[in-house]
């Protein structure tokens, strides 16, 4: 039995990223890429499960983790998304689905491996369902980025839109770590106050709630709110911000308390945001970043 700290489950996406000045960059992305890279950079044992078309196998080269730890299932089509950003800070964007790979099923989980955490890093509604979350919760801790439970794609136009998660109160009690951004938290709870939204999501059953924002990352464990500011010196690597944060947080929680894990996760994403693409760094780089930019936060 091969043992991992985390199995990250999600589709690779060929992303067409267009900034507010209409400059286009085509890159291989997806939450599974950014998430696995962040956890791996911190020294954790990481596996990834993805689905792609056979003709798109070259996309696997975007992973930073060893190829032997990437488990691949094949789909008729691969996922591809067009992201049009409307502002310089990349906080507002319009997304269009060009293609969506097939959903993950329990039978796709590789035999002969186990993981402390099963991380659902989906992109679009339909990538996985609540039943898979339930089933994997019996094998280990479950971490869910709620994006793939809120973000839908119109089957005819590809236009992407958000709507509330119908089964949230049924499935949240199976989730150990839940991640949303501020907008997603409002969709789920109707609350614009991120701290109150975190309390509501905890009250519905999620054991720890992590909410990302362009200024800070917060975490709530049912007892106390924790917050750490983002201190990236530029935003050139904005894509994958939430994925990087959450993967770092959940894997650091295996050996650290909430404030320590949140500090490391926020420093990790701040460093990542300074350069496009998935994080390529070592734990020492992140520790040095904390020492340089988070001296006032350490120990709090």
Task: Using DSSP, state whether 101 is helix, strand or coil.
Answer: coil
Query: CB atoms < 10 A from the CB of 156, how many?
Result: 6
∠ CA 174-178-184 to the nearest 5 degrees? 125
Query: CB atoms < 10 A from the CB of 69, how many?
Result: 18
Please report the pLDDT score of residue 211 as a whole number.
98
Q: Is residue 250 part of a domain?
A: yes
| Residue closest to 63 by CA, chosen among 85, 44, 47 | 47
Spatial separation of the C-alpha atoms in residues 74 and 171, rounded to whole Å:
27
Q: Is residue 300 part of a domain?
A: no
Spatial separation of the C-alpha atoms in residues 171 and 272, rounded to whole Å:
31
Please report the pLDDT score of residue 248 as a whole number.
99
User: What total of structural domains would you count in the chain?
Assistant: 1
pLDDT tens, position by position, 112-150: 999 999 999 999 999 999 999 999 999 999 999 999 999
Please report the pLDDT score of residue 300 as a whole number.
41
∠ CA 175-168-258 to the nearest 5 degrees? 35
pLDDT tens, position by position, 190-216: 999 999 999 999 999 999 999 999 999
Work out the burial of residue 103: count CB atoms within 10 Å of its CB; fewer than 13 is exposed, 13-18 middle, 19 or more buried: middle
Spatial separation of the C-alpha atoms in residues 228 and 249, rounded to whole Å:
12
Spatial separation of the C-alpha atoms in residues 228 and 294, rounded to whole Å:
9
Q: Is residue 136 part of a domain?
A: yes
* Strand pairing report for 2-9 and 141-145: unpaired
| Residue closest to 7 by CA, chosen among 42, 45, 43 | 45
Work out the burial of residue 147: count CB atoms within 10 Å of its CB; fewer than 13 is exposed, 13-18 middle, 19 or more buried: buried
The tokens of 273 are what? Answer: 């945001």
Q: Is residue 55 part of a domain?
A: yes
Q: Is residue 206 part of a domain?
A: yes
Question: Residue 222 to residues 198, 203, 229, 232, 257: CA-CA distances in angstroms?
Answer: 9, 8, 21, 29, 14
Please report the pLDDT score of residue 298 as a whole number.
62
Residue with tokens 């917060």: 218
Task: List Cβ neighbours of 22 (8 Å cut-off, separation of 6 or more).
Answer: none
Which residues of the chain fall short of a pLDDT of 50? 299-300
Please report the pLDDT score of residue 299 as a whole number.
44
Domain range for 128 is 2-293
Residue 50 maps to which CATH number? 3.40.1190.20
Please report the pLDDT score of residue 297 as a whole number.
84
């Amino acid at each position: 039995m091969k043992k991992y700290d985390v199995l990250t489950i999600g589709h690779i996406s060929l992303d067409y990223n267009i900034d507010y000045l209409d400059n286009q960059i085509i890159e291989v992305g997806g939450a599974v890429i950014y998430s696995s890279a962040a956890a791996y950079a911190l020294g954790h044992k990481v596996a990834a499960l993805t689905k792609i078309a056979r003709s798109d196998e070259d996309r696997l080269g975007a992973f930073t983790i060893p190829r032997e730890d990437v488990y691949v299932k094949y789909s008729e089509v691969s996922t591809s998304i067009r992201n049009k950003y409307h502002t310089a800070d990349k906080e507002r964007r319009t997304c269009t689905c060009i293609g969506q790979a097939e959903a993950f099923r329990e039978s796709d989980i590789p035999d002969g491996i186990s993981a402390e955490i099963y991380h659902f890093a989906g992109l679009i509604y339909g990538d996985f369902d609540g039943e898979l979350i339930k089933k994997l919760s019996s094998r280990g801790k479950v971490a869910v980025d709620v994006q793939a439970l809120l973000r839908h794609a119109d089957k005819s136009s590809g236009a992407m839109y958000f709507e509330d998660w119908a089964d949230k109160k049924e499935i949240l009690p199976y989730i150990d770590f839940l991640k949303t951004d501020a907008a997603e938290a409002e969709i789920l709870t109707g609350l614009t106050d991120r701290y109150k939204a975190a309390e509501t999501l905890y009250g519905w059953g999620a054991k720890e709630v992590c909410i990302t924002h362009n200024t800070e990352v917060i975490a709530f464990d049912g007892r106390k709110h924790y917050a750490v500011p983002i201190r990236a010196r530029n935003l050139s690597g904005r894509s994958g911000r939430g994925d990087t944060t959450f993967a770092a947080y959940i894997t650091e929680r295996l050996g650290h308390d909430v404030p320590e894990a949140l500090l490391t996760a926020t420093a990790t994403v701040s460093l990542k945001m300074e350069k496009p693409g998935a994080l390529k760094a070592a734990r020492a780089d992140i520790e040095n970043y904390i020492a340089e930019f988070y001296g006032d936060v350490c120990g709090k």
